[in-house]
């Protein structure tokens, strides 16, 4: 595999050698400095060599190969010290095989002002042209490879876990005389403690992470990885199983975003970067590297730290003006799911406690008997909620809402009212909530999407708060669905995004209908209307996107395959177009809709609950879902379906299977929209006359999704005169509708050069950055000087705060 990938190219490399050694637990101890925009501290890794933690379940192949003591070695360099001269060499000028060595007794002499131009030498990273000979000297050491970029690594050392008081209980063989073997045995025992001893395990992880170092380790860096070795440790078994990395993030690192919230206060958060968390902390990115973590984060006392954690952390005051926050998780998950947000967030609390809220806090019995998890779980051991009787009947998990102070009112009016009913609705469909609690944060305006789900923490865009509860409710349901599909059950190959986004898109409609307590026929009508909207969106995307990005299983028979070391490449993982595409959402949704209709909703959702019970806490491939589905439905309902035919027709080809009828077009709500479109067409054709009583059209009140469909139909009209547009705006109060409606309204304004409403477009581009990218393109394509000036002016106002990927795409449109 070519590891010298240009970061601007399509594919994202996963470099970690997970087939040989796995991180089982991370302990982070970090300080957040807003003045320098740096997070620095230590990361302690607890490792396990080989694959004994792996379990084979269902038809899923083993995630990694067994350990090979001969594999993944590197040549051992002779001791040397890089000269101090030419300390201005920066990482951007280094080759891909740059060598780093931490000299004994080396001090960190760098300042905290965020200026890194002159510091790389201090960090122990130097240009390879200053290195000693790295040729083969007849001896090879094992190499631990971690995914890492945009970080300054200061020091790597082995941790002397044997020095922790009371740790002797983890030494099975008191006859061990080699100290390094004793330390590794302690870690092996610690990482394999039974699930019911998780509190003790976390305590010893914390105590071990504070143990003294017992020898610095050599490390190399390249564009995408950190490589660590110990002289004389020639196999993964011999390599230290507890290591400490001292490091710093960089202000421009791509995993974290430093910005200001809507109240003008500084904040920082992980924003779901295409490179995941490797610019936040060195880690094993491949999803098969399932791990737990605990983190202590210190920040100024005015800040609140939210994180992926099972506990609702409270601040501990360390000294005047500084607080510490501690979070942990006991459910192993990929490191990419770790999320943090530090800012002046305000917890939004209800003004009064309604009867519904009181009822939600009680433990209620589920209506379906098959919600209980029967038998032994298929995942590695952890304290699983599916085996906890009180957890299985908990309709609404504890939850909190946070927002910048300027949005607390809107958050209280909209989001806070929806959390309990949406959580309850999700439980009524899928049963046990996989996670014990949930925080929801309204993130800064530069957040590049409407929402993002992480364990115990959901980010929502401010765009979800305006124009009523519909958009907020549907988006909240989508993110809640990810607790099951995307987090508790993850894709083993990240190219199969549909296993997360397709399921969440399909389930959001079901959850939202139940949260609204709709009658079955009303729920069906709304779902058909949303299917119609998604059909139109997908058809548009299929017409305007490269065919290779329309394939849901691009690696075909090689899906899930990795190299001998465990490294791999995520196809199109860095493609800037892909970030803004929804094919994996929409095409995945239509596949699941097709299967649900073929089987019948009752059969399909009964199966889905069984699937969740079988595969929670595990990683899957498409065939795991499809094989279990076909095995669990009667022969007469299969109607010729097979895994192979679904691969061929849906997952491994661009476009949609043929023939496919337009979804939802015949629903009653869609037909009502059609009638309204006809009225507006007539209004637009009428010559301008003085108003006569009784001559006007009577327009029906429309639901938000109906308004979106109406505006999309009107976008197909060649011309709409200003009088029609003004009437349209007044009739539906379009500037006060939700962001989905306002986005279509802005498209109409741009298409028809409706100058009196240009202010609406400007406001949308600044306040709804998660949805505004497409509008920049429309403004520039029009070749209208005023519109192009508007686009450039808005970009100048927002580019410094805009998400980096979005800013890059917009800049390419404008200049």
For 345-352+393-662, give the CATH class. mainly alpha
pLDDT above 50 (res 104): no
Active site residue 547: no
Of 302, 333, 328, give the one whose Cα is nearest residue 315: 302
Give the residue with greater pLDDT, 768 vs 692.
768
Structure tokens at 338: 């770790």
Residues of the chain with CATH 1.10.390.10: 345-352+393-662
Q: How many CA atoms lie within 13 A of 274 on its CB side?
A: 24
Structure tokens at 83: 């000269």
Q: What is the pLDDT of residue 782?
A: 85
What is the per-residue DSSP string for 87-147? TT--GGGS-TT-EE---TT------SSS--TTTTTTTTB--GGGPPP-S--S-EEEEEEEE
d(C-alpha 309, C-alpha 285), whole Å: 19
pLDDT above 60 (res 262): yes
What is the per-residue DSSP string for 495-524? T-THHHHHHHHHHHHHHHHHHTT--HHHHH
d(C-alpha 124, C-alpha 228), whole Å: 13
Percentage of the chain modeled with pLDDT above 70:
83
Q: What is the pLDDT of residue 85?
A: 30
What is the per-residue DSSP string for 219-280? EEE-SSEEEEE-TT--STTTS-SEEEEEEEE-TT-TTEEEEE-TTS-EEEEE---TTTTTTT
Neighbouring residues of 557: CB distance < 8 A, sequence distance ≥ 6: none
Neighbouring residues of 51: CB distance < 8 A, sequence distance ≥ 6: 19, 22, 62, 63, 64, 65, 66, 67
pLDDT above 50 (res 112): no
Tell me the pLDDT band of 131, cut-offs 50, 70 and 90. Answer: very low
Structure tokens at 661: 């009828």
Of 364, 371, 399, give the one whose Cα is nearest residue 385: 371
Give the residue with greater pLDDT, 628 vs 54.
628
pLDDT above 70 (res 358): no
Q: What is the pLDDT of residue 274?
A: 84
> What average pLDDT score do residues 309-334 get?
95
Tell me the pLDDT band of 361, cut-offs 50, 70 and 90. Answer: very low
What is the per-residue DSSP string for 732-752? HTGGGS-HHHHHHHHHHHHHT
Structure tokens at 153: 């690594």
Q: Note the pLDDT tens digit of each residue in 431-451.
A: 999 999 999 999 999 998 999
d(C-alpha 547, C-alpha 558), whole Å: 19
| Backbone phi, psi, residue 24, to 5° | -95, -25
> What average pLDDT score do residues 718-724 get?
95
pLDDT above 50 (res 368): no
Residues of the chain with CATH 1.25.40.320: 670-685+700-814
pLDDT above 80 (res 802): yes
Q: What is the pLDDT of residue 350?
A: 85
d(C-alpha 592, C-alpha 527), whole Å: 13
What is the per-residue DSSP string for 652-666? SSSS--SS-PPTTTT
The answer to whether residues 248 and 255 touch, using CB atoms and an 8 Å cutoff, is: no
Q: Note the pLDDT tens digit of each residue in 27-45.
A: 999 999 999 999 999 999 9
pLDDT above 90 (res 271): no
What is the per-residue DSSP string for 777-811? HHHHHTT-HHHHHHHHHHHHHHTTTS-HHHHHHHH
pLDDT above 70 (res 137): no
Q: What is the pLDDT of residue 2?
A: 41
pLDDT above 80 (res 359): no
The answer to whether residues 495 and 621 touch, using CB atoms and an 8 Å cutoff, is: no
pLDDT above 80 (res 151): yes
Q: Note the pLDDT tens digit of each residue in 442-479.
A: 999 999 899 999 999 999 999 999 999 999 999 999 99
Tell me the pLDDT band of 177, cut-offs 50, 70 and 90. Answer: low
For 670-685+700-814, give the CATH class. mainly alpha
**Range in 389-398, 550-559, 798-807 the model is least confident about:** 798-807
The answer regarding whether domain 13-50+139-336 maps to CATH 2.60.40.1730 reads yes
d(C-alpha 411, C-alpha 422), whole Å: 15
44: helix, strand or coil? strand
Site of tokens 């595969």: 615
489: helix, strand or coil? strand
pLDDT above 80 (res 80): no
Percentage of the chain modeled with pLDDT above 90:
71
d(C-alpha 806, C-alpha 257), whole Å: 13
Structure tokens at 67: 């350990």
> What average pLDDT score do residues 579-597 get?
93
Q: What is the pLDDT of residue 633?
A: 81
Task: Give just the sign of the alpha carbon dihedral 767, 769, 773, 777.
Answer: positive
Please report, to the nearest 10 degrees, the dihedral formed by the alpha carbons of residues 460, 464, 469, 473 taken in order.
-40
Q: What is the pLDDT of residue 693?
A: 52
Tell me the pLDDT band of 176, cut-offs 50, 70 and 90. Answer: low
The mean predicted confidence, pLDDT, of the chain is: 85
pLDDT above 50 (res 354): no
> What average pLDDT score do residues 185-205 get?
96
**Range in 86-90, 505-509, 685-689, 706-710 the model is least confident about:** 86-90
Q: What is the pLDDT of residue 321?
A: 92
Residues facing residue 400 across a β-bridge: 439
Cα-based distances in Å from 68 to 234, 566, 789:
11, 12, 61
Tell me the pLDDT band of 573, cut-offs 50, 70 and 90. Answer: confident
Q: Catalytic pick from 479, 496, 508, 712?
A: 479
> What average pLDDT score do residues 743-755 get?
97
The angle formed by the CA atoms of residues 600, 603 and 607, to the nearest 5 degrees, is 135
Q: What is the pLDDT of residue 691?
A: 55
Q: What is the pLDDT of residue 528?
A: 96
d(C-alpha 737, C-alpha 471), whole Å: 10
What is the per-residue DSSP string for 202-216? HHHHHHHHTSPEEEE
**Range in 141-150, 278-287, 373-382, 699-708 the model is least confident about:** 373-382
Q: Note the pLDDT tens digit of each residue in 629-644.
A: 999 887 877 778 899 9
Q: How many CA atoms lie within 13 A of 16 on its CB side?
A: 22
What is the per-residue DSSP string for 406-465? GGHHHHHHTHHHHHHHHHHHHHHHH-S-SSS-EEEEE--TT-SSSEEEETTEEEE-GGGG
Structure tokens at 57: 């379940």
> What average pLDDT score do residues 682-699 get?
74
Cα-based distances in Å from 348 to 335, 400, 414, 441, 485:
29, 7, 11, 10, 28
Q: What is the pLDDT of residue 689?
A: 63
DSSP E strand stretches across 531-648: 568-570, 618-620
Q: What is the pLDDT of residue 126?
A: 29
> What average pLDDT score do residues 697-721 get?
96
Tell me the pLDDT band of 4, cut-offs 50, 70 and 90. Answer: very low
Q: Is the bond preceding 659 in cis, omega lying within 30 degrees of 0?
A: yes
Q: What is the pLDDT of residue 372?
A: 47
pLDDT above 80 (res 579): no
DSSP state of 688: P
Neighbouring residues of 141: CB distance < 8 A, sequence distance ≥ 6: 73, 74, 75, 76, 229, 230, 231, 232, 233, 234
* Single pTM value for the model: 0.87
Structure tokens at 369: 């008997």
Residues of the chain with CATH 2.60.40.1730: 13-50+139-336
> What average pLDDT score do residues 207-222 get?
96
The answer to whether residues 714 and 748 touch, using CB atoms and an 8 Å cutoff, is: yes
Please report, to the nearest 10 degrees, the dihedral formed by the alpha carbons of residues 677, 678, 679, 684 taken in order.
90
The answer to whether residues 575 and 7 touch, using CB atoms and an 8 Å cutoff, is: no
């Amino acid at each position: 595999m070519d590891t010298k990938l240009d970061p601007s190219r399509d594919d994202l490399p996963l470099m970690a050698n997970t087939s040989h050694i796995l991180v089982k637990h991370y302990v982070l101890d970090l300080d957040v400095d807003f003045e320098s925009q740096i997070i620095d501290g230590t990361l302690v890794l607890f490792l396990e060599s080989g694959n004994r933690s792996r379990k084979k379940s269902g038809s899923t192949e083993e995630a990694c190969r067994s350990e090979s003591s001969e594999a993944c070695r590197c040549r051992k360099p002779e001791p040397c010290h890089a000269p101090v001269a030419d300390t201005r060499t920066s990482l951007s000028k280094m080759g891909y095989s740059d060598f780093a060595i931490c000299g004994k007794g080396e001090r960190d002499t760098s300042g905290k002002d965020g200026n890194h131009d002159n510091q790389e030498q201090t960090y122990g990273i130097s240009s390879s042209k200053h290195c000693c000979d790295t040729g083969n000297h007849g001896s090879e050491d094992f190499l631990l490879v971690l995914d890492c970029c945009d970080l300054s690594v200061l020091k790597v050392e082995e941790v002397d876990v044997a020095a922790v008081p009371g740790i002797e209980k983890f030494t099975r063989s008191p006859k061990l005389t080699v100290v390094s073997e004793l330390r590794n045995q302690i870690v092996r025992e610690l990482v394999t403690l039974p699930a019911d001893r998780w509190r003790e395990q976390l305590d010893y992880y914390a105590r071990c992470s504070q143990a003294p170092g017992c020898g610095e380790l050599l490390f190399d860096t390249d564009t995408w990885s950190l490589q660590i070795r110990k002289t004389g440790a020639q196999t993964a078994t011999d390599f230290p199983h507890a290591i400490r990395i001292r490091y710093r993030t960089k202000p421009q690192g791509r995993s974290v975003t430093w910005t200001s919230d809507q109240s003008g206060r500084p904040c920082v958060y992980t924003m779901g970067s295409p490179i995941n968390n490797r610019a936040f902390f060195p880690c094993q990115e491949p999803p098969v590297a399932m791990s737990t973590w605990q983190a202590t984060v210190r920040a100024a006392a005015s800040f609140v730290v939210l994180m992926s954690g099972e506990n609702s952390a409270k601040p501990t005051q360390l000294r005047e003006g500084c607080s510490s926050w501690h979070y942990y998780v006991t459910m192993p998950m990929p490191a990419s799911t770790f999320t943090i947000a530090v800012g002046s967030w305000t917890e939004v609390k209800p003004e009064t406690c309604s009867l519904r809220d009181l009822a939600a806090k009680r433990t209620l019995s589920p209506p379906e008997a098959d919600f209980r998890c029967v038998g032994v779980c298929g995942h590695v051991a952890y304290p699983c909620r599916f085996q906890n009787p009180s957890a299985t009947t908990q309709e609404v998990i504890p939850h909190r809402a946070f927002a910048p102070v300027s949005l607390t009112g809107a958050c209280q009016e909209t989001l806070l009212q929806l959390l309990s009913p949406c959580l309850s609705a999700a439980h009524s469909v899928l049963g046990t909530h996989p996670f014990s609690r949930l925080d929801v944060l309204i993130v800064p305006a530069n957040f590049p999407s409407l929402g993002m789900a992480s364990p115990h923490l959901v980010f929502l865009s401010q765009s979800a708060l305006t124009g009523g509860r519909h958009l907020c409710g549907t988006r909240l349901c989508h993110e809640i669905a990810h607790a099951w599909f995307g987090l508790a059950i993850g894709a083993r190959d990240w190219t199969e995004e549909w296993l997360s986004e397709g399921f969440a898109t399909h389930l959001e409609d079901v959850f939202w209908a139940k949260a609204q307590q709709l009658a079955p026929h009303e729920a069906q009508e709304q779902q058909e209307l949303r299917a119609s909207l998604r059909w139109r969106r997908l058809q548009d995307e299929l017409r305007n996107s490269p065919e290779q990005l329309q394939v849901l299983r691009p690696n075909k028979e090689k899906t899930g395959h990795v190299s001998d070391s465990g490294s791999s490449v995520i196809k199109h993982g860095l493609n800037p177009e892909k970030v803004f595409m929804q094919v994996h959402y929409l095409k995945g949704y239509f596949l699941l809709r097709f299967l649900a209709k073929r089987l019948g909703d009752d059969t399909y959702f009964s199966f889905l609950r069984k699937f969740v019970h079988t595969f929670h806490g595990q990683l899957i491939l498409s065939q795991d879902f499809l094989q279990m589905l076909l095995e669990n439905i009667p022969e007469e309902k299969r109607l010729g379906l097979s895994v192979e035919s679904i691969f061929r027709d849906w997952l491994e080809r661009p476009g949609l299977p043929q023939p496919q009828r337009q979804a939802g077009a015949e629903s009653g709500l869609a037909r009502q929209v059609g009638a309204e479109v006809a009225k507006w067409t007539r209004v637009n054709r009428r010559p301008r006359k003085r108003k006569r009583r009784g001559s006007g059209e009577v327009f029906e009140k429309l639901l938000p999704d109906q308004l979106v469909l109406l505006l999309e139909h009107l976008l197909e009209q060649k011309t709409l005169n200003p009088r029609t547009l003004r009437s349209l705006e007044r009739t539906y109060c379009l500037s006060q509708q939700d962001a989905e409606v306002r986005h279509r309204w802005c498209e109409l304004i741009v298409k028809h050069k409706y100058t009196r409403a240009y202010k609406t477009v400007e406001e949308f581009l600044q306040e709804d950055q998660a949805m505004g990218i497409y509008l920049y393109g429309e403004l520039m394509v029009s070749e209208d000087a005023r519109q192009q000036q508007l686009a450039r002016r808005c970009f100048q106002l927002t580019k410094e705060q805009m998400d980096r990927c979005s800013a890059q795409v917009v800049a390419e449109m404008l200049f």
